[in-house]
Amino acid sequence: MAIHFHEEDLPDGVLEDASISGGALAVDTETMGLVTHRDRLCVVQISDGSGDEHLVRFSPGSDYEAPNLTRILGDENRVKLFHYARFDLAAISYYLGVMATPVFCTKIASKLVRTYTDRHGLKNLTDELLGESISKQQQSSDWGGPELNEAQREYAASDVRFLHRLHDELTLRLEREGRMHIAQACFDFLPTRAELDIAGWAENDIFNHS
């Protein structure tokens, strides 16, 4: 198991084998903050579940021309696994110009089947469902600096390291509770939800009566 660091794009041939883990890709992002238009995309981390994680760093002033990464993210034959996909889809779409679909969101899946708790963070899921512990110490660090230190790289990699296993466990629970169909409908709507966020409807619930 290794963490691979790249600047501006994935190298040719990386993550091209769609036979691993059924082709599913775990994806996450690190940005300068939570406002997509203001806070630039700094890192995209991605894994095919084989044990390695790939971190793609974008420098200040990047043109975000990443043909290998965007081609893989835009492959409609490969499911993208996210934790809180709504945010990551918006960041990827806004900066890289691609909607990373189809989607499976472990946070949404957790909220649909772990109704006995209000703790749906990635750390909560890995602790309970997998017996694995991850550190969130670097969550609020400066991802736009000239270098990523080892702690930042490990944190970023850990955010995609367990998503394939979480997907498998949460899928079993969704099917057991008869909620897979509603979960899939939520996943299918996420690209539209991300587009609404980008267009200015992040806080305004257009489905609300008021």
- Name the superfamily (CATH) of residues 3-10+21-199: Ribonuclease H-like superfamily/Ribonuclease H (3.30.420.10)
> For the ranges 19-23, 131-135, 188-192, which has the lowest average pLDDT?
131-135
Summarize the confidence of residues 184-210 as an average pLDDT: 94
CB 157, CB 52: distance < 8 Å = no
What residue ranges do the domains of the chain occupy?
Answer: 3-10+21-199
Distance CA 207, CA 210 (A): 9
- Supply the pTM of this predicted model: 0.95
CB 191, CB 130: distance < 8 Å = no
* pLDDT tens profile 8-65: 999 999 999 999 999 999 999 999 999 999 999 999 999 999 999 999 999 999 999 9
* pLDDT tens profile 60-114: 999 999 999 999 999 999 999 999 999 999 999 999 999 999 999 999 999 999 9
